Copies of this chain bind each other. A is one copy, B any other.
Amino acid sequence: MLSRKAEDYLEAILNITEEKGHVRIKDIAITLGVRPPSVVEMVNRLDKKDMVEYRKYDGVTLTKEGRAIAVVVKERHDIIKSFLEIINVPEKIADTDACTMEHELHAITTTQIKNLVIFVKDAPEYPQWLKHFEDFCATGEHPCAGKEPGHKTNA
């Protein structure tokens, strides 16, 4: 099993690979907000575990296994981010909070969040549902129905 941090590194390496083709130590460091020596250390560990192939002064590439893990983490990230954006969490916050949540959730939890996202987005009355939720956040009242007590709802 890999640690959260190790997963973060793999995900970052996947993202950089897709964006630039070639992955430099410096890129990983900037992406994750750490210093280059920390990256070298982790990349060495990931190499020892056959998650990446690392050649000094050259670059880092994901192995098949490392890529598989990175893809799973990235998918979880995207699902969670989608969910957060549906409930009106601003994009940037949704992204960083997805980073926090993307590790160690039970498969059932991830699946149910995914179901929710699809359920809401595919709903025939999708924009209506969203409008109702937004109104509710703003006013604490359900727009369609009677006389609810009202709640504190400000983000």
Contact = CB atoms under 8 A, between A and B. Distances in A.
Interface of A: 84, 87-90, 93-94, 96-97, 100-101, 103-109, 111-113, 115-116, 118-119, 122-124, 132-133, 136-137, 142, 144-146, 148, 151, 153-155
B87 A112 contact: yes
Nearest to A145: B124
A17 to B, nearest CB: 27
A103 B103 CA distance: 12
Given A123-B142, A153-B115, A97 B106 contact: yes
B88 A109 contact: no
Contacts of A106: 89, 93, 96-97
8 contacts: A90-B108, A97-B104, A97-B105, A108-B155, A111-B153, A115-B133, A115-B155, A123-B145
A146 B124 contact: yes
Contacts of A123: 142, 145
Contact of A101 (B93, B101, B107, B153): B101
Contact of A104 (B100, B153, B155): B100
Given A142-B122, A145-B124, A113 B87 contact: yes
A122 B104 CA distance: 31
